[in-house]
Structure 1
Amino acid sequence: MDATYIQGSIEQLKTNIFMHVRHRTLLQYTGAPVINENQLFYLLLPFLNGEEWNEHIDKSAITVGIVHASLYEHDKINETNATSKEQQLTVLSGDYYSGRYYEILAHLGNITLIRELSEGIVNRCEHQIKVYESNQNSLEQWFNTISVIQTELIRRFYLVFNFEQYSSLMHTGLLLLQLKKEVRNLQNGHNSSIMKKMIESVSNEEKTLEQLLVEKIDMLQDLLHEYLHSSTLNDELKRYIRHQVECS
């Protein structure tokens, strides 16, 4: 196995997700579903590391990918122009994807997976809602919110299929990658809703939000290297993860 095989596996999972949610009209007006390849990589990490993997687990991974796509569609809604045709179709695309993953889950008949994903969606949405609340959270609380949004559904997937040994690495890796993306956006003046709330949270700090984010990123990079050093991942996966962080 090499980086080409890893990337090919991610692309295949992405293709399988697209196949299950493809709709001509939605594709025309809202574009292809938003798929986070970093999340797909961590969904596949147990498989890539040689864990037992069958068609049922593969379908379940596709389902998690569709859930992510559905939630990302709803995140794209523009409150100031929610009545436009494109915005209405964006809402419908999220609902359509939701219907598709429930259909797959029903066919799988895995009640434990249905329960865990349902609870995971609720937890993720509760954290997403924090962005619209008036109360001010600490920086660490916002880091936790970002982590939940990025990792909660994969954590539930790991739990159902006994892949929990990968959870710490997955949480650290995905939070690190997302914070690096947020720093780039911050530097370019494109602040996400969460970043705007985080700026409010550090308004009385001596350091800027960017400085505090860089400190957190450095800490997470050190932690990730520790996990990689002590993990049972094969060497190619370790190289891929290091390259993933360096190039993000």
Structure 2
Amino acid sequence: MDISYIEKHIEQLKNDIYRNVEHKTLVKYTGNPLVDENQLFYLLLPFFDGEAWDDDIYQGVITVGIVQASLAKHNLVDEYDATTKQQQLTVLSGDYYSGRYYEILAKSGNISLIRQLSESVIIRSEHEVRVYEPTNYAIDDWFDSLSVIESECINRFYQIYNFNQYSKIMQNNLLILRLQNELLNYRKGNSSRFLQKMKESVGPDDSLNFEKYLQHRIEVLVDQLRELLRTSSMKAELKQYIAERLIRES
């Protein structure tokens, strides 16, 4: 198994997600569903590592991908002006994807997956809403929220199919990638609401120290991930794949 094999299956999964939610008008105005290839990799990680795999599990993978695409579309809506045709269609595309994944789940009869994904959407949404609350959360609470947003749906998928041994690596890596992206945007002057709230938690008037603090937290997480990979029983090629991407992103 090499990088091309992994990338081929990620691309196939992406295409299967597109095929299940294809709608010409929505694609024309809002583009294809937003899918994160890092999240798709972790949905397929048990398959890459040789776990028992069948069509039912793969259908669950597609469904989780659609759930995350739905949530990603809703996050694109302009909170100040959602009146344009594109904004309205963005809302509709998120709703359409939501309908599709519930339809797929209903046809499968997989009650456990329905329950777990429904709960994951609720929990993830609660953490998304935190940025609009007046509560003064601690910096670690914001890290927890970002981790939930990035990994909760995949965690539920792992729980259903007994793939929990991959959870810590997945959670750690996806949080690192999110924080690296947040830091990159911060340096470009494009802070997200989450980063603004995090900055307020450590001191709103100290930009340089906040950047150093965030970089340090990322480095700590990277060290933790390397240790998790070192002690993991996962295939060596997969550990190398994750480690190499970590080096490129760091």
Which TM class, normalised by the smaller chain length?
Answer: over 0.9
Verify: 1:61 aligned to 2:61, yes or no.
yes
**Deviation at residue 196 of structure 1 after TM alignment:** 1.3
Question: Deviation at 1:205?
Answer: 8.3
The 2-side partners of 1:205 and 1:244 are apart by 34
Which residue number corresponds to residue 93 of structure 2?
93
The alignment partner of 1:52 has SS state of coil
Whole-Å separation in 2 of the counterparts to 1:54 and 1:135: 45
Residue 50 (1) aligns with residue 77 (2):
no
Provide the C-alpha distance between the structure 1 equivalents of 2:54 and 2:136, rounded to a whole number of angstroms: 45
Residues in 2 aligned to 1:204 and 1:37: alpha-carbon distance in whole angstroms: 33
Q: Structure 2 vs 1, CA of residues 205 and 160 (structure 1 numbering), >3 Å: closer, same or farther?
A: farther
- Aligned pair 1:149/2:149, yes or no? yes
* Alignment partner of 1:76 is 2:67: no
Deviations 1:188-237 (A, max 9, x none): 11111111111211116876221111111111111111111111111111
CA 1:231 to 1:175, structure 2 compared with 1: closer, same or farther past 3 Å?
same
Secondary structure in 2 matching 1:165: helix
Which of structure 1's runs of 4+ aligned residues deviate more than 6 A? 204-207
Query: What is aligned with 1:123?
Result: 123
Q: Is the 8 A contact 1:202 1:208 kept in 2?
A: no
1:217 is matched with which residue?
218
Larger mean CA deviation between 235-244 and 95-104 belongs to: 235-244
TM-score by length of 1: 0.97
Q: What is the letter of the counterpart of residue 94 of structure 2?
A: G
Match of residue 246 from structure 2:
245
Q: Distance in 1 between matches of 2:187 and 2:181?
A: 10
Tell me how far apart the structure 2 counterparts of residues 222 and 199 of structure 1 sit (CA, whole Å).
Answer: 23
Q: How does 1:25-36 map to 2 (within 5 A)?
A: 25-36=25-36
- In the TM superposition, residue 187 of structure 1 has moved relative to its aligned partner by 0.8
- For residue 147 of structure 1, what is the amino acid of its counterpart? S
Unaligned segments of structure 1, at least 5 residues? none
Instruction: Tell me, yes or no, if the aligned pair for 1:82 and 1:88 is still in contact at 8 Å.
Output: yes
Question: What is the aligned partner in structure 2 of residue 183 from structure 1?
Answer: 183
**1:171 corresponding residue in structure 2:** 171
Cα distance in structure 1, aligned partners of 2:204 and 2:153: 34
* SS of residue in 1 equivalent to 2:66: helix
- Output the CA distance in 1 between the equivalents of 2:204 and 2:184: 23
Structure 1: how far apart are the matches of 2:44 and 2:237?
14
More divergent stretch after superposition (119-128 vs 233-242): 233-242
- The amino acid that maps onto 1:200 is E
Give the residue type in structure 2 aligned to 1:28: K
Q: Which amino acid aligns with 2:165?
A: Q
1:10 counterpart residue number: 10
Partners of 1:50 and 1:31 in 2: how far apart?
A: 34
Structure 2: gaps spanning 5 or more residues:
none
Is the CA contact 1:38–1:174 (under 8 Å) kept in the aligned structure 2?
yes
Name the structure 2 match of 1:133. Answer: 133
How many equivalent pairs are there? Answer: 248
